Amino acid sequence: MTEIPCFGAFPATRMRRNRRWPWLREMLQETHFSPANLIWPVFVIDGVNQRQAIGSMPGVERLSVDLAVKAAERAASLGVSSVAIFPVTPPEKKSDDGQHAMEPDNLICRATRAITEKLGTKIGIVCDVALDPYTTHGHDGLLIDGVIANDATTEILCKQAVNQAAAGATVIAPSDMMDGRIGEIRKALDQAGYQDVIIMSYAAKYASAFYGPFREAVGSATNLGKGDKKTYQMNPANTDEALREVAMDLNEGADIVMVKPGMPYLDIIRRLHDAYHVPIAAYQVSGEYAMLKFASQSGAIQEKECVLESLLAFRRAGATSVLSYYALQAAEWLGS
């Protein structure tokens, strides 16, 4: 056990003295949260002027590209740093091998192009690299003889990443958890002339039950069925393993590393921050959003206060930025 340092004791020391007035509490505040720290995940669908509610995520909508552009404009005007685009692929475009991920005109590429056209570099565009929106089995990789084939998947992910970079993605975010894909994707991007495209690696991504609402939102839940992603996503019981995952991705060229889910994994963020001092993104995932939203709707908690507290907690734990479905709303709250 470490010794408790002695800086004085009560009554000479009164901790409450430093909490007396608002100006004092603000002066002594150790961490801050601003819209610039936020990344907003947005679900996109085909069509024009279309918006669809998502049952397990009240307040979040799937948007057609034209409306996603408007939403991105609003986000940029509120100071939100970037949007992360998640496509809802029509079932007829899904296949065993997820070929649609490589189509230059797929939904994520169209959304990326449309937002870039309208906003240029006023907002970052994060594109997810993984095959799950495109596969009939709902897995992030190629399923060969009942196994997710690592190296064959990586080859496809490289093409997917280059396809997204060509559409204007500023950040490529591999969320698939294959081994060695960061190095390969970096190489592929560089070879294609995209050496300035950022890689934000979902480096410590856990096989979590908190992704449920997301899978409903993008329509991959029925594809995955009773399957799980435990042979590639991490065991929620592990923490040393996260240090190793992140170290490998950094050595392969990751610019930003991510921890996901967020709130139940603040200890992982803290350890990574203390160990490596690198940019860390935290993902407040769909299940966390649902918990906050449904608890707020029932009147059990105060939404604004709890959401802003949860976002601040990520920063306190050591996260540089936070992906949150509350991003737009939080930016509005912070600005008002």
Residues 6+ away with beta carbon under 8 Å from 276: 246, 247, 250
Task: Determine which residue in the list 167, 188, 269, 285 makes contact with ligand PBG, applying CB under 6 A.
Answer: 285
Binding residues for ligand PBG, total number by CB under 6 A = 11
Q: What is the SS3 assignment for 266?
A: helix
Q: Least distance to ligand PBG from the beta carbon of 117, Å?
A: 25
Task: Determine which residue in the list 89, 163, 175, 324 makes contact with ligand PBG, applying CB under 6 A.
Answer: 175
Cα dist from 21 to 15, 25, 26, 32, 322, whole Å: 13, 6, 9, 18, 29
Q: What is d(CA 196, CA 174) in angstroms, rounded to the nearest whole number?
A: 16
43 contributes a contact to ligand PBG by CB under 6 A: no
Q: What is d(CA 122, CA 79) in angstroms, rounded to the nearest whole number?
A: 9
97 contributes a contact to ligand PBG by CB under 6 A: no
Q: By the 8 A CB rule, do 140 and 91 touch?
A: no
Selected catalytic residue, list 94, 205, 229, 293: 205
Looking at the Cβ atoms of 140 and 184, the one nearer to ligand PBG is 140
230 is catalytic: no
Q: What is d(CA 174, CA 201) in angstroms, rounded to the nearest whole number?
A: 5
Name the one range near ligand PBG by CB under 6 A: 27-35, 117-125, 208-216, 245-253: 208-216
260 is catalytic: yes
Residues 213 to 242 in contact with ligand PBG, rule: CB under 6 A: 214-215, 229
If you search the block for the tokens 């907002």, which residue do you land on? 123
245 contributes a contact to ligand PBG by CB under 6 A: no
Selected catalytic residue, list 94, 229, 260, 293: 260
Looking at the Cβ atoms of 38 and 130, the one nearer to ligand PBG is 130
**Phi first, then psi: what are they for 75, rounded to 5°?**
-60, -45
Q: Write out the catalytic residue numbers.
A: 205, 260
User: Which residues are at the interface with ligand PBG (CB under 6 A)?
Assistant: 128, 130, 132, 140, 175, 211, 214-215, 229, 285-286
